[in-house]
Structure 1
Amino acid sequence: MKSNKILAALLLLLFIGFTGCSSKKEEIKADKTVPVEVTIVVKTSIEREIELVGTLQPWKEANLGAQTTGRVEKIFVEEGSYVKEGDLLFQMDDTQLIQAKLQYQLAKDNYERMKPLYETGSVSQSQFDQVKAAYESAEKSYNLLLTNTQFRAPFSGVVTSKKLNDGEIFLLAPTGGAPTIVTLMQLNPLKLILNVSESDFNLVKTGQTVIVKTDIYPDKEFKGVINRINPAINPATRTFQAEVKVPNDGNLLRPGMFVRASIEIGAKDGIIINRSAALKQLGSDAYYGFIVKNNTAKRVELKLGKEFNSVVEIVSGLSEGDYLVTKGQGLLKDGSAVEIKAKAE
């Protein structure tokens, strides 16, 4: 009788221990479920732009020099001088010009005396033709010397260099090219040449707005317009050139400035998520996140696009309607059991 009681007590202890272990296993299993918050992925309209860098150039630039060797009579401008189209910049020695002017005036007077006589029949056609030819030749010679003696601004701009001084001799280069006496640049507008990837060729059009920024004026934006597109692709760089016309009222911008440019190409639907939902993989530039399917976490590789402060565009890795984990993803791994605690629409 006593042995039966001992046996019953042992069986009771075993039962209690078994049920206790089962409860602990169930607790451990339950503890492996990770509570998370998710948001439903939706598409939204995103303003698209192509971001590039470049260096500003003058809209026009002229290196002015004489066509023949001669003495510089007078330079009327200094470096930094602003001039208008047609202003006199410098003058070469005018000795030949004075002689040509006298010959031109004599030929002109002779022609004006001969013309009424020819009209009344007092002189022959051949006599009048000789006088007229001499007059026209003298006029052309004078005008040619005039343009090679008095040099005027071909456009409005600023003088950026002055190579000679009054009285110095201007010499032609041995190759026959004329060195510069004065360099003139047009600063309003300015030109910006952008090298655009061939993959964006169909997105870039003339007339599109380009936002130009420089670190010199961090709070200012300058708006330019695509003026010309080179139709050829550079086979070495796989890029094409787009010329941007940048208005420069007040001359705040200058040639040689490094700028950042954004070509506005319009709006297009895309996916935007909170920046914190994209996790960076250690030791690389890759990003990943987690979506929930059937209460199970699935790891997805994310390709990031344009960033907007606390949110970022996802180029690939997510689809509209996915349940993206926004909180608790740091405790997850691929295949983790999850419990959705909150859902954001």
Structure 2
Amino acid sequence: ERKNLAQTVSVSGEVISPNNIKLAFQTTGRLENIFVDVGDKITKDQLIAQIELGKLPQEIAQANADLKAQKELLENMKNKRDTYTREQRDSQRAVIKKYEAVIAEVNQQIDETKIYSPVDAIVGKRNFNAGETVIAGTAVAELFQETDLEISVNIPESDIVKIKLDQRADLTLDALPADEKLSARVFEIEPASTVIQDVVYYKIKLKLDAQDERLKNGMSADIDIRSAEKENALVVPQRAIKIEGTEKFVEVLKDAKNNITERKKIITGLEGDEGSVEVKSGLEEGDEVVTFAKAV
């Protein structure tokens, strides 16, 4: 008979967001407040967390007072042109610019005590609580966006050679009805390996054919990757094939009434997951192959 054959690699994976964002302060300090929790939906430019200002308010107040005094001095120098030379007034202007630079720097430090969300997102992780010390560069919170979700899969090294870009895959998820399948394709294969419990894996990613609003970051998925396919292949059951050395044979029914068979040498191709094997040569469509003395 002819049928479509498929060879699959069955694995488990996880729904992930490719747009994960880690939010961190640029300076070390004591966390004064964190305004979000895991699962919160937040909007772009929303305040996420703030560290204590420390002495910055006093520093900015002093810098502004100093700047005011220097500007007043310049005005006095302008009003007494006979007393002060142009060079002295230019020098005073340079002093004022230095104070303005100090104020700009302190204001920058004040801005860095707050973290805002750069996008509309969902809070995936909150790593600190108010009162704890946060080190510069350490993620205080992690955000993700539920758009363009992907499937992350670890493939054992024994199967990775079967995986190619653009291969098709069928997915089922515990969160969805058991008989509902989603379609995806392989779009990324990482070259570097990862060792998990002494087993070598390679990470691949699948892109869904269509986004589904029911999917959430972190959901588990069972995946069948079609590592090889053949349409309209001439097939026989695996159990009908006899192997002698490097050659393969089948018994073809010639006389059903007298149960007479003819032995034929065949060359096989793809082995499907359901016990069917492609016959590339040696048989013709319509031949009745004997399996356990029964015609099929």
TM over 0.5: yes
Structure 1 residue 158 and structure 2 residue 108: aligned? no
Contact kept in structure 1, 2:56 and 2:106, CA below 8 Å:
no
**CA displacement at 1:70 relative to structure 2:** 1.4
The code of the aligned residue for 2:261 comes to T
Structure 2 Cα separation of the partners of residues 138 and 179 of structure 1: 27
**CA displacement at 1:131 relative to structure 2:** 2.8
2:174 maps to which residue?
215
**CA displacement at 1:150 relative to structure 2:** 1.5
Structure 1 residue 98 and structure 2 residue 57: aligned? yes
Specify whether residues 156 and 315 from structure 1 end up closer, same or farther in structure 2 by C-alpha distance, changes over 3 A only.
Answer: farther
Structure 2 Cα separation of the partners of residues 108 and 58 of structure 1: 49
Contact kept in structure 2, 1:56 and 1:254, CA below 8 Å:
yes
1:306 maps to which residue?
272
Written as runs of structure 1 = structure 2, the 5 A alignment for 1:124-135 is: 126-135=91-100
**CA displacement at 1:320 relative to structure 2:** 5.0
More helix by share: 1
The code of the aligned residue for 1:306 comes to G
**CA displacement at 1:151 relative to structure 2:** 1.6
1:3 maps to which residue?
none
What TM-score comes out, normalization by structure 1 length?
0.55
Contact kept in structure 2, 1:212 and 1:221, CA below 8 Å:
yes
The code of the aligned residue for 2:271 comes to G
Structure 1 residue 230 and structure 2 residue 190: aligned? yes
Which of 186, 198, 206 is matched with 1:244 structurally?
Answer: 206
Any unmatched runs of 5+ in structure 1?
1-38, 282-287, 333-339
Which of 279, 288, 295 is matched with 1:325 structurally?
Answer: 288
Structure 1 residue 80 and structure 2 residue 39: aligned? yes
The code of the aligned residue for 1:242 comes to I
Written as runs of structure 1 = structure 2, the 5 A alignment for 1:115-264 is: 126-147=91-112, 149-162=113-126, 165=129, 168-172=130-134, 181-196=140-155, 197-200=159-162, 203-205=164-166, 210-217=169-176, 218-224=178-184, 226-232=186-192, 240-246=202-208, 249-262=212-225
**CA displacement at 1:82 relative to structure 2:** 0.8
2:82 maps to which residue?
none
Structure 1 residue 68 and structure 2 residue 28: aligned? yes
Specify whether residues 83 and 215 from structure 1 end up closer, same or farther in structure 2 by C-alpha distance, changes over 3 A only.
Answer: same
Q: SS where residue 216 of structure 1 aligns?
A: coil
After superposition, give the CA deviation of every residue in 1:106-158 in whole Å (9 maximum; x if it has no partner).
688789998xx9xxx786555434432432343133223322x2122244322
Any unmatched runs of 5+ in structure 2?
79-85, 242-248
2:233 maps to which residue?
271
Specify whether residues 107 and 79 from structure 1 end up closer, same or farther in structure 2 by C-alpha distance, changes over 3 A only.
Answer: farther
Structure 1 Cα separation of the partners of residues 133 and 100 of structure 2: 32
2:246 maps to which residue?
none
Specify whether residues 47 and 198 from structure 1 end up closer, same or farther in structure 2 by C-alpha distance, changes over 3 A only.
Answer: closer
The code of the aligned residue for 2:152 comes to I
Structure 2 Cα separation of the partners of residues 161 and 305 of structure 1: 45
Contact kept in structure 2, 1:198 and 1:238, CA below 8 Å:
no
**CA displacement at 1:260 relative to structure 2:** 1.4
Q: SS where residue 184 of structure 1 aligns?
A: strand
What TM-score comes out, normalization by structure 2 length?
0.62
Structure 2 Cα separation of the partners of residues 233 and 180 of structure 1: 26
**CA displacement at 1:88 relative to structure 2:** 0.9
Contact kept in structure 1, 2:230 and 2:270, CA below 8 Å:
no
Q: SS where residue 272 of structure 2 aligns?
A: strand
Q: Which structure has the bigger radius of gyration?
A: 1
Contact kept in structure 2, 1:171 and 1:179, CA below 8 Å:
no
**CA displacement at 1:220 relative to structure 2:** 3.8
**CA displacement at 1:48 relative to structure 2:** 7.5
Structure 2 Cα separation of the partners of residues 319 and 111 of structure 1: 100
Q: SS where residue 44 of structure 2 aligns?
A: coil
Specify whether residues 270 and 324 from structure 1 end up closer, same or farther in structure 2 by C-alpha distance, changes over 3 A only.
Answer: same
Q: SS where residue 193 of structure 1 aligns?
A: strand
**CA displacement at 1:296 relative to structure 2:** 2.9
Structure 1 Cα separation of the partners of residues 232 and 70 of structure 2: 79
Specify whether residues 106 and 209 from structure 1 end up closer, same or farther in structure 2 by C-alpha distance, changes over 3 A only.
Answer: farther
Contact kept in structure 2, 1:270 and 1:314, CA below 8 Å:
no
The code of the aligned residue for 2:203 comes to Q
Task: Count the aligned residue pairs.
Answer: 266
Specify whether residues 134 and 320 from structure 1 end up closer, same or farther in structure 2 by C-alpha distance, changes over 3 A only.
Answer: farther
